[in-house]
Structure formats: C-alpha cells, structure tokens
Amino acid sequence: MKGTVFAVALNHQSQIAHWHEAFGQAPYKTPPKTPVWFIKPRNTLINSGDNILHPAGETVKSGATLALIIGKDARKVSQAEAKNYIAGFALANEVSLPEDSFYRPAIKAKCCDSFCPIGEMTTATLTSPVEIITLINGKEADRWSTKDLVRDAYELVAALSEFATLKAGDVILIGTPHQRATIQPGDQVVIQAEGFPSLSNQVVAAGGQ
C-alpha cells in the first residue's frame, strides 16, 4: 500500500455499548459525534504471508476487518458519491494491544511493527453484509458481520473526507468489534470472507523470527 492507512475506532455497535458509561464521564461527558480515527504508520504494514511480530510479555489482539482502498482524491464527498471514489476492498487485520481509552492516541497499542496485515484487493461492492471470519490454527476464533457497523463504508468516506483530503491509494480500516481473538507466537491467523482473497499470517515472537 502506497497511501496512508486510516483506522476507524468505535465503529461497531459492541464497542459503543462497552464504552457507553465511560463516554458519560469527564472530560467529554458525551459519546463522539464524528468518527474517531487514527493512522497505522508504515512500519505496521505487511502483506499476506508475512509474519506478525508478537512483543514479549504483551497481550495481542487480532482485529479482522475490511480495508477500503481509495481510488481517486476525495474531499467533501457525499455518501451518495462515495462509491465512485473507492477502488476496492481487501481483508485486513487491525492488530492491537488491548485499549484502555480512546481519548488519546494509543500509540503503543496500535503502532507496533507488523500490526497491520492487508490482503489482496478485490472490486467487491458491499451490496450486502459481509461475514468476516478469523481462523486460528484452523479453528474459528471470531466472526462478525458488517451489518453491525455504526457507519458503513460509504458513510466513512463521506465523514473522513469532510475533515481531510483522501488521496488515491489511501486505505480506511472500517472498524472491529470490541471482542477480538487473542493471538500467540506460533499461531497461524487466517481471515476469510466470501468473495475476498484470504489473508494469512504467522505469529512469531518479536526478535525471534
């Protein structure tokens, strides 16, 4: 991927439910009204077949999701126009350490080396909900549907392009559920969805690959 990778937090109903009480506390005292997003830097990006590096002593979560790839520059795009700015979609894994807050960028949790595997792009249109399945060592460990997103892919393009110019080649990770599978060194993590090339990565201990 040549562009910037934007990841969207709090875009699954289960996350909103989990953090609901915290949103009522100081300093904000209300849930976010616009998408909460952060950048996965280039050191996190790997391809299918590459190794996910597991930092020693840490709990690591696999966050299976879809990556939306921008096809042409988008600025203040309407939801109705958004599909015209999308080149395609790919399976992705927003790997993370557990989060304890969304009020500040979780740099350590989100930006470790290899924490953003992205698979091969397909020109899927998402006309119906997509079931995203995580297999760990051949056994199903997680499954969720895009029907449970707060904002769909086209709403996200419209919302993010309101604040920033999205460039051709940029990527948006559309969100993950609150509950995600824990991964360990030695695990083979495969993410699947109908109509998408699978995303497969081996987990290895950082420093020992």
Specify the pTM. 0.87
Q: Quick check: 202 pLDDT over 80?
A: yes
The answer to whether the beta carbons of residues 75 and 161 sit under 8 Å apart is yes
Interacting residues of 122 by C-beta distance below 8 A, sequence separation 6+: 88, 89, 90, 195, 196, 197
Predicted local distance difference test score (pLDDT) of residue 180 = 86
> Mean of the pLDDT values across residues 102-124?
84
Length of the chain: 209
DSSP 161: H
Pairwise pLDDT comparison (191 vs 163), residue with the higher score: 191
List, for residues 3-62, the tens digit of each pLDDT value: 899 988 777 566 655 555 555 455 555 555 666 788 999 999 999 999 999 999 999 999
List, for residues 70-103, the tens digit of each pLDDT value: 999 999 999 999 999 999 999 999 999 987 655 5
Predicted local distance difference test score (pLDDT) of residue 188 = 98
| Residue-averaged pLDDT of the chain | 87
Under the banding of pLDDT at 50, 70 and 90, the label for residue 209 is very low
